[in-house]
Amino acid sequence: MRDTQIKINLDYLEENIRAIRTHIGKDVILGLVLKGNAYGHGAPFMAKKLQEFGVQRFLVATLMEALQLRLENKAYHLMVMGHTPDAYLDLMVAHKIMPTLFTMKQAEILNSIGKARNQVIKVHLKLDTGFNRLGFQIQDGLIDDLLKIHAMTHLEIEGIFSHLALKDRAGDQNQFKKFMDVTQALSKHGLDIPVQHICDSIATNLYPEMHLSMVRIGALAYGLQAEEKPFPGVKQILTMDTLPSQVKRVKKGEHVSYGNRYILSEDANIVTLPFGYADGYPRSLYQGGKVRIGQHYYNYAGIICMDQCMINANNDPIDLNNRVHIIDHDQLSIAKLSKLAQTNKNEFLCRLNPRIPRHYIQEGKTVCIANELLGEINEF
């Protein structure tokens, strides 16, 4: 229904997963982070493929994100890393979605839910080791509190985790030490928590000594990595392109788009493209941003509108069948575009909203199109 398409290369995804596995070794659990609609890649189909590629645990930020995946597959191993309001904890348990616990109050609520349902609920504890976002703070009484949770009859502490601020190596090591001090203190009291994790993508790359029993990988699986320390064997899996909706010759002195900001200094071929900021493409890129047709890069002509934008193709003959590359692997990479838009790669991706159909491509063939209105189309 739309010429503007996001393309997800599933072969690259599989290679990325393989590269990450090789790096972490077979004994470390690979937890895949699918929050933010899988960083814009479309969570439901990504989960399906990731499972095929051997990933067994999925992590999301919110209960709704977990429920979306639960509706897809009853067997997925799902965990919410953020806060879930008290009133929804029972729903969460009913759908076998693992909560993150960071207050005694929710421990008690969950324990009574377990009692009422006559089941033992698995939880992961979150420790705040210095990020100061979410987690039990490390202070007097912490160990006693955690042991109290351990003693609750209808809770089982399967995991304990924390998150690094990635300020610098010394800061991260300091957080790691605080984390280990807590787990060791618990161990002395006979509580050995099986699944311990502190590394996200960057930390997984930088600090092999901190992998513990699980890593939480988001960015790296999608092929995004820190420039300072590239991760061998991972590639960006998402690209985006479109087709022109109209090509017109416009005379010198005419304006293009809203306002008075773009006036042609020469006659030019103006190409109208069917995407805009409602798709999540940053409006700010009208200055400095480019698209590519073949080997040629073109500037935006005037302000990017909500659903459309224009480029200045000078005197180049452009026709309606010319693919226009919006995000590619080279000069229009997510790394380069996000920098130009003064944001980070994750934000750039998360904003690409479900209005843009996702075409999933494996071995050169489209295997699924995820569409906002109709969901996943597997036959076409």
Interface contacts to ligand PLP, rule CB under 6 A: 33, 35, 81, 163, 200-202, 216-220
Report the nearest approach of ligand PLP to the CB of residue 195 (Å).
Answer: 14
The span from the CA of 360 to the CA of 369, in Å, is 6
- Between 66 and 301, CB nearer to ligand PLP: 66
Asked whether the beta carbons of 283 and 318 are under 8 A apart, the reply is: no
Rounded to whole angstroms, how far apart are CA atoms 202 and 30? 14
**DSSP of 84-110:** --GGGHHHHHHTTEEPEE--HHHHHHH
Shortest Cβ distance from residue 234 to ligand PLP (Å)? 12
Amino acid identity of 237?
Answer: I
Amino acid at 321: N
Answer yes or no: are the C-beta atoms of 172 and 207 closer than 8 Å. Answer: yes
Q: Which is nearer to ligand PLP, 346 or 371 (CB)?
A: 346
Give the nearer residue to ligand PLP in terms of CB position, either 128 or 200: 200
- Between 32 and 273, name the residue whose CB sits nearer to ligand PLP: 32
CB of 89 to ligand PLP, least distance (A): 19
User: Could you give the residue ranges of the DSSP H alpha helices within 2-103?
Assistant: 10-24, 35-39, 43-52, 63-72, 89-94
Least distance in Å: CB of 127 to ligand PLP? 12
Closest residue to ligand PLP in the complex (CB)? 218
What is the nearest approach in angstroms of ligand PLP to the Cβ of residue 360?
Answer: 20
Cα distances (Å, whole numbers) of residue 224 to 22, 235, 329: 17, 7, 11
Token representation of residue 32:
């895949």
Using the minimum distance from each CB to ligand PLP, give the nearer residue, 220 or 318.
220
Smallest gap from Cβ 104 to ligand PLP, in A, equals 21
C-alpha torsion sign, points 349, 354, 356, 359: positive
Q: CB nearer to ligand PLP: give 38 or 268.
A: 38
Pairing type for strands 268-273 and 5-9 reads: unpaired
In the complex, the smallest distance separating the C-beta of residue 201 from ligand PLP, rounded to whole angstroms, is 3
Residue 285 beta carbon to ligand PLP: minimum distance, rounded to whole angstroms: 23
Nearer to ligand PLP, 36 or 44 (CB): 36
What is the number of alpha carbons within 13 Å of residue 20 lying toward its C-beta? Answer: 36
Angle between helices 104-117 and 142-151 (to 10 degrees): 0
**Residue partners of 123: CB distance under 8 A and separation at least 6:** 98, 99, 100, 101, 107, 110, 149, 155, 156, 157, 158, 159
- In the bound state with ligand PLP, the residue whose beta carbon lies nearer, of 155 and 224, is 224
Minimum gap (Å) between residue 217 Cβ and ligand PLP: 5
Minimum distance, C-beta of residue 72 to ligand PLP, in the bound complex (Å): 20
Q: 150: Cβ–Cβ under 8 A, 6 or more apart, which residues?
A: 157, 186, 191
When the beta carbons of 217 and 309 are compared against ligand PLP, the nearer one is 217
Looking at the DSSP assignment, which residues form a beta bridge with residue 199?
A: 215
Tell me the C-alpha distance between 229 and 280, whole Å. 28
Residue 2 Cα distances to 99, 159, 169, 356, angstroms: 38, 44, 46, 8
Q: Which is nearer to ligand PLP, 62 or 284 (CB)?
A: 62
